Amino acid sequence: MNKAQRDKIVDDLLLRYPRGKTRKLTKANYEIDSNYDYDRSVYVSTVICGATSECWGWSKEMLFDLGLHSQNAAEKYLKKRFYEDAVTNRGGYGSKRATLTRKTRRLWGRIDSSIRAIKQEGAAGVYRISAAGYGGGGLGHIATSSKDKAENIAAVMFAHVLTEGNRRYGGNGVTAELISRANIEKAVAKNASFFKKIEDNIESQQTRIKDIEESIVKEQLKLAAMMSLQDQLIEASTSED
């Protein structure tokens, strides 16, 4: 999906009554739901999809392909596109914070369920591989046809680095999250930055090891000098006797 296509879909989703891919949906295709908003302490009327307006007239795959897979990502996109030069911090004079927040809530509220559904179902595309469990850490990206296949491939390839802690809660010790339905070039590009991060971590660890080794040598020399001094003291004490 290119930028123009993404902007077009987002513009439609930001409408109170999105017209969908066919541009034929109207107010009559939607329903109104009233819920209490505890944050604002008011009842809010919300437009929701009806039987003829599923996914706001688009497909869940197209909504996933927007690449806005978190509320934070949606807000960053909207800020850059509409308010890049505007004040958006809370309480700032002339701030667009409230407007940005409203747009973010509307956009994210309309794509969240589709994104979760696609990630749960899986599809051909690029998967982010991570070790399972608390603090498991990322292992890279794989381009394959399904979530199960991504996890099985990763479990074999990274078997030597996985721990019992990673396998503690069942499964094969890895998790796979679909991040793009793009092709293998996308995985290669993602891995390039991932490799750089690992290389930087290795360099940092090597520097720490060098510093520790130098510190150990200094402490050993200090200990040797102190022991030598103590021997001299003992020898002097013996001589006096």
Q: Which two tokens stand for residue 150?
A: 């991504």
Q: For 48, which DSSP code?
A: E
What is the chain's mean pLDDT, rounded? 87
For residue range 201-214, what is the model confidence (pLDDT) as tens digits?
Answer: 888 888 989 999 99
Residue 157 has pLDDT above 60, yes or no: yes
**Which of 82-86, 180-184, 204-208 is predicted most confidently?**
204-208
Q: Give alpha helix (H) positions in 83-183.
A: 97-121, 147-157, 164-167
What are the distances in angstroms from CA 52 to CA 26, 49, 117? 10, 8, 19
Give the global pTM. Answer: 0.70
What are the distances in angstroms from CA 50 to CA 29, 113, 115, 122? 6, 15, 19, 25
Angular region, 55: left φ>0, alpha ψ -120 to 50, beta rest: left
In b/e form, how buried is each residue of 204-232, taking b as 16+ CB within 10 angstroms? Answer: eeeeeeeeeeeeeeeeeeeeeeeeeeeee
The mean pLDDT value for 123-148 works out to 85
Q: Which two tokens stand for residue 142?
A: 């794989």
Q: What does the angle CA 56 – CA 75 – CA 121 come to, to the nearest 5 degrees?
A: 50
Residues pairing with 42 in the sheet: 37
| pLDDT confidence tier of residue 100, bands split at 50, 70 and 90 | very high
For residue range 15-25, what is the model confidence (pLDDT) as tens digits?
Answer: 999 999 999 99
Confidence at residue 6, expressed as pLDDT on a 0 to 100 scale: 95
Confidence at residue 228, expressed as pLDDT on a 0 to 100 scale: 86
Confidence at residue 94, expressed as pLDDT on a 0 to 100 scale: 59
| pLDDT confidence tier of residue 167, bands split at 50, 70 and 90 | confident
Residue 92 has pLDDT above 60, yes or no: no
The mean pLDDT value for 29-47 works out to 88
